[in-house]
């Protein structure tokens, strides 16, 4: 009985101690020094955006190059909001520079009414007469609690010989220095996105695929430019970046939602690659259908070309693709 009384008296103290572990922080404070928040539970208020290559908490008041924190659901959440196209970079298992992935404390999400409203708003598609890759109708402002993962640097690094020696950061292309793994959401409000001034969201009717392989169709797009065209060469390289069927060229392709913590989370992959870098692409086929899937494949393929050749070709390739085949709206950090 004495032990039971002592435990009951101790419970409020334990609850208070647990609550005190959550750090209140502004988006700009976190982005000013993400590594100092690494592993901490934080409470942050911001505007969440979701779309093509994007699932992030943003703030307009940060005087920083990247004013966004990547957002991720815990593994097994099975929610819908998130990026419709995603590219993760990791050092291959056969890369001598590869290191073991750090173990991070698990996060369990609270699927309450606020969370369901939050996820629903961020998956409400923007309806137009044109093709708009991953365009949603709303942004959402909310108070978010979760585990903050922070890094001192982002992206992929090479040594003096050009070999890949390090991968840091989170989110699409590992270009985010901070990531929030969501635990709970509250104070949800929405803002409708104004696409009236965005000509790319109002043009180019969606075309259904003929039912063929979207990777083959990406190759066919290059043929529209004619032989010897530089534009055709750029688009063809983007389509060829995935390799041939059965070829192990270090590019992994998956289809489904990419809003959760990756199963292989961290700088190291359990796959091998000829150049020591594994590039994992994920396409959400629930939200990318027909020709939009082909365009997304071509665009992310151009990212792969850029990374492996250190040439900035991905934006040019997609711009040329838009000019000839119509336009698509996409967001990238």
Q: What is the pLDDT of residues 237-282, one digit of tens each?
A: 999 999 988 889 999 999 999 999 988 899 999 999 999 999 999 9
Please state the separation of Cα 148 from the chain's center in Å. 16
pLDDT value at residue 102 = 87
- What ranges in 37-180 are assigned the alpha helix state H? 113-121
Please name the residue that has the structure tokens 């690494």.
38
> Per-residue pLDDT tens for 64-115?
667 899 999 999 999 999 999 999 999 999 999 999 898 899 999 999 999 9
Nearest of 93, 87, 78, 22 to residue 241 by alpha carbon:
87
pLDDT value at residue 148 = 98
pLDDT value at residue 129 = 64
Cβ atoms within 10 Å, residue 329: 22
Identify the segments of the chain with pLDDT beneath 50. 4-20, 202-206, 210, 312-333
Pairing of the two strands 277-283 and 251-255: parallel
pLDDT value at residue 130 = 67
CB contact burial 48-64 (16+ within 10 A = b; e otherwise): bbbbbbbbbbbbeebee
pLDDT value at residue 316 = 40
Q: What's the CA gap between 107 and 22, in Å, rounded? A: 13
- Residue 189 makes CB contacts below 8 A (sequence gap 6+) with 140, 141, 142
pLDDT value at residue 144 = 98
Q: Are the beta carbons of 46 and 29 closer than 8 angstroms?
A: no
Indicate the pTM of the whole model.
0.85
Please name the residue that has the structure tokens 């409708």.
192
pLDDT value at residue 20 = 47
pLDDT value at residue 329 = 39
Helix (H) or strand (E) holding 305, with range, is: helix 291-309
């Amino acid at each position: 009985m004495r032990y039971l009384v002592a435990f009951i008296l101790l419970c409020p103290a334990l609850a208070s101690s647990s609550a005190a572990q959550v750090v209140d922080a502004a988006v700009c404070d976190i982005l000013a020094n993400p590594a100092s928040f690494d592993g901490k539970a934080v409470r942050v208020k911001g505007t969440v955006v979701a779309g093509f290559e994007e699932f992030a908490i943003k703030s307009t008041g940060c005087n920083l190059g990247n004013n966004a924190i990547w957002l991720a659901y815990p593994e097994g959440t099975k929610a819908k909001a998130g990026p419709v196209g995603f590219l993760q970079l990791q050092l291959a298992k056969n890369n001598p520079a590869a290191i073991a992935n750090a173990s991070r404390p698990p996060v369990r999400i609270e699927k309450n009414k606020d969370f369901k409203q939050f996820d629903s708003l961020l998956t409400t598609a923007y309806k137009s007469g044109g093709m708009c890759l991953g365009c949603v109708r709303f942004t959402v402002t909310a108070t978010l609690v979760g585990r903050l993962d922070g890094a001192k640097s982002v992206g992929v690094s090479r040594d003096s010989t050009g070999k890949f020696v390090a991968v840091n950061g989170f989110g699409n292309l590992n270009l985010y220095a901070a990531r929030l793994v969501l635990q709970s959401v509250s104070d949800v409000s929405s803002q409708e996105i104004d696409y009236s001034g965005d000509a790319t969201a109002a043009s180019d009717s969606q075309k259904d695929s003929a039912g063929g392989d979207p990777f083959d169709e990406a190759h066919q797009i290059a043929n529209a430019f004619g032989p010897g065209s530089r534009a055709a060469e750029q688009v063809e390289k983007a389509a060829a970046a995935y390799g041939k069927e059965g070829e192990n060229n270090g590019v992994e392709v998956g289809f489904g939602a990419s809003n959760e913590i990756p199963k292989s989370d961290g700088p190291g992959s359990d796959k091998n690659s000829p150049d020591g870098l594994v590039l994992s692409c994920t396409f959400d086929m629930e939200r990318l259908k027909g020709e939009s899937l082909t365009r997304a494949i071509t665009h992310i393929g151009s990212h792969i070309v850029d990374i492996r050749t250190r040439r900035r070709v991905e934006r040019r390739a997609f711009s040329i693709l838009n000019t000839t085949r119509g336009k698509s709206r996409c967001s990238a950090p």
